[in-house]
A = this chain, B = another copy of it.
Amino acid sequence: MNQTPEWELHPMLVREALPVGDLALSRLLAARDAGYPWLMLVPRRVGVSEIFELGVAEQAALIGEISQVSMALKALTNCDKINVGNIGIVVPQLHVHVVARHRGDPAWPRGMWGAAPPKAYEPGVLEKFVEDMRKALNLK
């Protein structure tokens, strides 16, 4: 029997981020990098690496979730700019970064991807950020 494989979060994303919760399409994660308030949206679809591999309705859902998460992140952090991006070379499972940028942050005004190694969070700080994002997005 052919069985559709179940979606599972890529092991590198399990290691490098904490789960925030599930939106309609995507799992929302918070990256273990204290350099920036850094979220990731991972559509719960098997075998998808590129945005164009999603269906049209899923693409619309994804950009809706990007917007929803961006607005909540901006309200929470009072950041100067939201950065959004999909690189996906090291981790092939489609994931979209949504990152709060502040004037004078380590990579300002450039992209923060690969600009510096991840910085460790002080105990409890990432967990507090995850809790604040859950509240902002009404996630359990």
Contacts and interface: CB of A to CB of B under 8 A. Distances in A.
Interface of A: 49-52, 56, 59-60, 62-64, 66-68, 70-71, 74, 80-90, 101, 107-111, 113-115
A74 B51 CA distance: 12
Contact of A89 (B51, B71, B108, B114): B108
B59 A64 contact: yes
A100 B50 CA distance: 12
Nearest to A58: B63
A89 B109 CA distance: 6
Contact of A111 (B64, B87, B109): B87
A7 B56 CA distance: 28
Contact of A71 (B52, B71, B108): B52
A82 B67 CA distance: 21
15 contacts: A50-B74, A50-B81, A51-B63, A51-B66, A51-B84, A63-B63, A81-B89, A85-B85, A85-B86, A89-B108, A89-B109, A90-B109, A107-B114, A111-B114, A113-B113
